[in-house]
Chain A
Amino acid sequence: MAHPLLRKQFMEAGAFLTQNKEKGTRRTRGKIIELAILYLIIAGALGASVYYMAELMCEALVAIGFGWLYHMSMSTSAVVLGLFASMFNISGMVYQAKDNDMLLAMPIKPWKLLAARLFSVWCWILIYEAVVYVPSMMVYYKVAYKYQMLKATTVLCNIGMYFSLSILILSLSCLLGFLVSLISQKVKGNSMVKVVLSLAFIALYYYLYMRAYSVIQQFLSSASAIGGKVKGAAYPLYLVGKAGSGDGAAVGIITGVVIIFFAIVWLVMKATFIQMATKSQARKRKKFSLRGEKGRSQQRTLRYKEEKRFLGSAVYMLNSGLGVIVIPILGIFLLVKKNAVLGMLTQLEMTKPGTSMLVLIAGICMVAIMNEMTAASISLEGKTIWILQSLPVDLWNVLKAKIALQLEFTVLPVLFCSVCMMIVSKPVWYYGLLMILLPQLFALLVAQFGLFANLLWPNLKWTSEAAVIKQSMPMLVSMFGSMIFVALLAGAYLLLSSVVTTLVFLLIVAVLLVSVNVVLWWWLKNKGTEKFRQL
């Protein structure tokens, strides 16, 4: 019985490669290979950025005998990435899966169904974890080989740790997913609960990370004096580092602890699975009576619909709207660290006048990319697209409402961040104006480009909204496309810096941004509405 269940899970998981959701047909083998290569390139690009970061710290730490610190750092990064990527999958893939009722009605033991679902989640975790773990180990092997420290046992320990950490991520995801589902069933407005929990989780992670960093700093400055203290204070983390460095005993201890932890989580999930998977969402209904509510204009009501969709989905908010919080935090961070920032800006100014302004503007633009609502907004219409298509509504107004949603949640945070940067950097008036104008133009560009990408690659036949928000082509194209755009501008500056002043360069960028925005606006209004009508 386990085989058909696993086969179903894998068919479901692999559908993003094998099925053309737009046409409802199976892709040809060539198309599948083409897509697989594309996803491998994207994973490779992510892995390459990890590789680069790992290279910065690996040799420095290994050279002074702190290889374990490197392993600890990279292993915790892999755990955090895996955990963040998978914790909400538990709720959607295990407890709220649409085929739960159907499968539970079949002669299948519920624990087998649970196991098949968790196995599928685990496979995803192995992929997420590999994006960090594999490149970081490659860097380590390169450095260890150089210092003649590379042993077969280290490689074996790393393989063991890779699987142990994946089970740890699975256990933590299960635990958090279980808690999220439990709270969701009790509390109304559960998308907000999920968002608050996630943000609390991120805040906790950064708090612990900063604490660990300060401990590490102290350790590095006086290792022998406080080494024992550190080992005592964060012994499990130390053990993770030792295991990664090739300490077989540490691998054994960690694996044992992880297995016990997973066994406890498994027993809890097994005992509560049917109850959690079948619990009715019905709550005591509040009394409702019709009151005279004011009507809205057509444009306003379309935007209201987009706002309701965005604020009603934790997955959407967390994956496409984190910039709402992160962008102002960046501004506040700059104000708090004013002196350090000023020092850095002064150094940049010495390379070429105006460079610091350019770096600050590029910085806001990069964080503005965190808001990507439009890139999933067409696909999210899903099966409800008939509503907009059958109503007497100008489809250009529909597209404008989607752009407006993104701007609504981006313009003010970006403006706040620009003002903070101006307070810190005290620019001359024309740089101040550009510091306000360019990030706003870029925010409009990201919003329009996301919509453009989603109109080119729509998916209206999803069963889980996470599929179009987290794992979709338009989202990736929009995010990486925007990043590449900023990177290309930075490259252009390096090439042109001897020919033009920074001010002239920024003015050229402003003209370029206006031009691209106008072109995208024209395309969306004419071709975009036509594409939307034909969906």
Chain B
Amino acid sequence: MLKIENLTKQYGDKKAVDQLSLHIAPGEIFGFIGHNGAGKTTTLKSVVGILEFDEGEIFVNGKSIKTSPMECKKDIAYIPDNPDLYDFMTGIQFLQFVADIFEIPASVRQERIQKYADAFELTKDLGEAISSYSHGMKQKLAIISAWIHAPKMILMDEPFVGLDPKAAHILKDMMREVCAQGGSIFFSTHVLDVAEKLCDKVAIIKAGKLVKSGSMEDVKGDTSLEEVFLELEEK
């Protein structure tokens, strides 16, 4: 589903991501872990075509993000760490906007908006301006907008920040549902407990370099993910 090969991205002299390679198969929830500034957001932004990279290749469903960005973007959805949305729109206007871009038929979009907005208890607020939303409400709206076109691959940067426990639980169910239908999830997080329980695979990045990657069992072994992470960080 997603193949990252030798990805390198430099900001001036500093390598934010250095020769990073990952492979995410259909049906996998893939956790991406690292300290602040390790290169997680840069990697995610490179995958979704927001950032240009210096070396390497990224393939989404076999298509290169460099040569076929539009085709790749049709298959993916992205939620950034801080959901800055269009404050001048209402919630429903934003969802309609995203649905229009993906050319979702009216009946289908109606059904999906209803389903996810009801799940997050956001339906009654969709007529309000996004500027009046709390951080959590914006995060919920960003999640609904990502799910609205039933993408094959969803990339999320710290998706649980700002969500209440119930919404976080709903999001985890939604992630599992995507994977059950053959899709994939690639997300960064600092909440190691969540990653440990939710992810099929995990990758740990440090100073732009991949230091450990594999199935959750292989990475953590008999210890916890937190212990492995802290141990790697201290090296």
A295 touching B106, Cβ below 8 Å: yes
Q: Which of B48, B86, B126 is close to A390, meaning CB atoms less than 8 Å apart?
A: B48
B107 touching A295, Cβ below 8 Å: no
B103 touching A295, Cβ below 8 Å: yes
A296 proximal to B (CB < 8 A):
yes
Kindly supply a per-residue 1/0 record for chain A positions 82-120, scoring 1 wherever the CB is within 8 Å of any chain B CB and 0 otherwise. Answer: 000000000000000000000000000000000000000
Q: What is the minimal beta-carbon distance from A289 to any residue of chain B, in angstroms? A: 8
Task: Give Cα distance in the complex from A382 to B125, angstroms.
Answer: 25
Task: Give Cα distance in the complex from A281 to B102, angstroms.
Answer: 33
A221 proximal to B (CB < 8 A):
no
User: What is the chain A residue whose CB lies nearest that of B131?
Assistant: A281
Stretch at the interface among A197-205, A305-313, A327-335, A475-483: A305-313
A298 touching B88, Cβ below 8 Å: no
Q: Which of B74, B92, B105, B131 is close to A295, meaning CB atoms less than 8 Å apart?
A: B105
Known: A282-B132, A286-B127, A290-B123. A387 touches B85 (CB 8 A): yes
Q: Which of B86, B101, B109, B124 is close to A288, meaning CB atoms less than 8 Å apart?
A: B124
The interface centre, meaning the residue of A300, A308, A390 with most chain B CB atoms within 10 A of its CB, is A390
B106 touching A294, Cβ below 8 Å: yes
B73 proximal to A (CB < 8 A):
yes
Q: Which of B97, B127, B132 is close to A305, meaning CB atoms less than 8 Å apart?
A: B97
Task: Give Cα distance in the complex from A392 to B98, angstroms.
Answer: 10
Task: Give Cα distance in the complex from A337 to B213, angstroms.
Answer: 79
Please tell me the number of chain B residues within 8 Å of chain A, measured between CB atoms. 44
Task: Give Cα distance in the complex from A300 to B103, angstroms.
Answer: 12
Kindly supply a per-residue 1/0 record for chain B positions 96-138, scoring 1 wherever the CB is within 8 Å of any chain A CB and 0 otherwise. Answer: 1111111111110110011001000001111110011000000
Q: What is the minimal beta-carbon distance from A275 to any residue of chain B, in angstroms? A: 19
B102 touching A392, Cβ below 8 Å: yes
Contacts of A286 in B (CB 8 A): 127
A390 touching B73, Cβ below 8 Å: yes
B84 proximal to A (CB < 8 A):
yes
Kindly supply a per-residue 1/0 record for chain B positions 60-99, scoring 1 wherever the CB is within 8 Å of any chain A CB and 0 otherwise. Answer: 0000000000110110001010101110110011001111
Please tell me the number of chain A residues within 8 Å of chain B, measured between CB atoms. 35
Contacts of A305 in B (CB 8 A): 86, 89, 97
A279 proximal to B (CB < 8 A):
no
Q: What is the minimal beta-carbon distance from A385 to any residue of chain B, in angstroms? A: 9
A325 proximal to B (CB < 8 A):
no
Kindly supply a per-residue 1/0 record for chain A positions 20-45, scoring 1 wherever the CB is within 8 Å of any chain B CB and 0 otherwise. Answer: 00000000000000000000000000
A293 touching B127, Cβ below 8 Å: no
Contacts of A281 in B (CB 8 A): 131-132
User: What is the chain A residue whose CB lies nearest that of B89?
Assistant: A308
A392 touching B126, Cβ below 8 Å: no
Contacts of A296 in B (CB 8 A): 96, 100
Known: A286-B127, A288-B126. A298 touches B100 (CB 8 A): yes
B127 touching A288, Cβ below 8 Å: yes
A292 touching B85, Cβ below 8 Å: no
Task: Give Cα distance in the complex from A282 to B133, angstroms.
Answer: 10
B106 touching A292, Cβ below 8 Å: yes
B200 proximal to A (CB < 8 A):
no
A384 touching B84, Cβ below 8 Å: yes
Q: What is the minimal beta-carbon distance from B107 to any residue of chain A, in angstroms? A: 7
The interface centre, meaning the residue of A293, A383, A534 with most chain B CB atoms within 10 A of its CB, is A293
B52 proximal to A (CB < 8 A):
yes
A293 touching B96, Cβ below 8 Å: yes
Contacts of B70 in A (CB 8 A): 392, 394
B162 proximal to A (CB < 8 A):
no
Known: A290-B126, A394-B70. A301 touches B80 (CB 8 A): no
A285 touching B50, Cβ below 8 Å: no
Contacts of A390 in B (CB 8 A): 48-50, 73, 78
Q: What is the minimal beta-carbon distance from A304 to any residue of chain B, in angstroms? A: 7
User: What is the chain B residue whose CB lies nearest that of A394?
Assistant: B70
The interface centre, meaning the residue of B82, B104, B132 with most chain A CB atoms within 10 A of its CB, is B132
Q: What is the minimal beta-carbon distance from B120 to any residue of chain A, in angstroms? A: 14
B124 touching A391, Cβ below 8 Å: no
Task: Give Cα distance in the complex from A301 to B125, angstroms.
Answer: 22
Contacts of A382 in B (CB 8 A): 84
Q: What is the minimal beta-carbon distance from B84 to any residue of chain A, in angstroms? A: 4
User: What is the chain B residue whose CB lies nearest that of A282?
Assistant: B132
A287 proximal to B (CB < 8 A):
yes
Task: Give Cα distance in the complex from A393 to B113, angstroms.
Answer: 21
User: What is the chain B residue whose CB lies nearest that of A291?
Assistant: B110
A261 proximal to B (CB < 8 A):
no
A392 touching B73, Cβ below 8 Å: yes
A301 touching B88, Cβ below 8 Å: no
A217 proximal to B (CB < 8 A):
no
User: What is the chain B residue whose CB lies nearest that of A310?
Assistant: B88
Task: Give Cα distance in the complex from A296 to B101, angstroms.
Answer: 9
Known: A301-B100, A305-B89, A312-B88. A386 touches B80 (CB 8 A): yes
Contacts of A383 in B (CB 8 A): 82, 84
Q: Which of A304, A312, A534 is close to B97, meaning CB atoms less than 8 Å apart?
A: A304
Known: A281-B132, A295-B103, A305-B89. A287 touches B110 (CB 8 A): no
B99 touching A295, Cβ below 8 Å: yes
Q: What is the minimal beta-carbon distance from B181 to any residue of chain A, in angstroms? A: 20
User: What is the chain B residue whose CB lies nearest that of A313?
Assistant: B88
User: What is the chain A residue whose CB lies nearest that of B52?
Assistant: A534
Known: A281-B132, A285-B125. A298 touches B101 (CB 8 A): yes
Task: Give Cα distance in the complex from A383 to B97, angstroms.
Answer: 17
Contacts of B104 in A (CB 8 A): 295
Kindly supply a per-residue 1/0 record for chain A positions 351-386, scoring 1 wherever the CB is within 8 Å of any chain B CB and 0 otherwise. Answer: 000000000000000000000000000000011101
Q: Which residues of A contact B (CB under 8 A)?
A: 281-282, 285-290, 292-298, 300-301, 304-305, 308-309, 312-313, 382-384, 386-387, 389-394, 534
Nearest 4 CB-CB pairs, A to B? A288-B127, A312-B88, A301-B100, A392-B73
Known: A293-B106, A382-B84, A391-B101. 7 other contacts (CB 8 A): A290-B110, A293-B92, A295-B105, A295-B109, A300-B100, A308-B88, A313-B88
Can you list 28 A-B contacts (CB < 8 A)? A281-B131, A285-B125, A286-B127, A288-B92, A288-B126, A288-B127, A289-B123, A290-B114, A292-B106, A296-B96, A298-B100, A298-B101, A301-B97, A301-B100, A301-B101, A312-B88, A382-B84, A383-B84, A384-B85, A386-B45, A386-B50, A389-B49, A389-B50, A390-B50, A390-B73, A391-B98, A391-B101, A391-B102
